[in-house]
Amino acid sequence: MQTVVERELEMQLVLSPERSIPVPARLAYRTDDPYAVHITFHIGSDAPVNWTFARELLVEGVFRPCGHGDVRIWPTKVNARSVICLALSSPDGDALLEAPSSVVAAWLERTLRMVPPGTEHEQLGLDDALGALLAPAAGDEGWPRDPSRRPGSRDDTPDASA
């Protein structure tokens, strides 16, 4: 069963040190994708912008600068407010966004209570899938356990070199 933890929030798209504009966004965490967080930005277009990255990256970014490449996250203060900065890079451009730390941290805490760190693999059902894959199928009962022994093979076949 999939469970989703979502949170609507308003982030600030930083245009310059003096100017930013509000951007409605949605944070989402799904137990069927337990290693990832999803952010959807509603920027007034017909197609929202979606980003997906490691939940672990966001967990670390709440406390200290982290990330390399396309997603970088760090905590800071802006006008005496605690915010989480999110720097995103893509072939289409770069964006710097700020989100209220308290909102992000509270949402993240809900995801961590739902799926504690280190238990994400349990959500994937790999053991059940592997068991089903390796289970004998109907009609497999007659096959020998030793893969070198196939039906019709005989151990007493004379050696051709003899």
pLDDT of residue 162: 52
d(CA 105, CA 77): 15
pLDDT of residue 21: 95
Q: Which tens digits make up the pLDDT trace of 14-70?
A: 999 899 999 999 999 999 889 999 999 986 678 899 999 999 999 999 999 999 989
The model's confidence at residue 140, banded by pLDDT at 50, 70 and 90, is low
Higher model confidence: residue 36 or residue 141? 36
Q: Which tens digits make up the pLDDT trace of 77-88?
A: 998 999 999 999
CA distances from 136 to 101, 125, 127 (A): 52, 19, 16
With a CB cutoff of 8 Å and minimum separation 6, the contacts of 117 are 56, 59
Query: Of 70, 65, 73, 92, which is closest to residue 27 (Cα–Cα)?
Result: 73
d(CA 7, CA 120): 21
d(CA 97, CA 22): 9
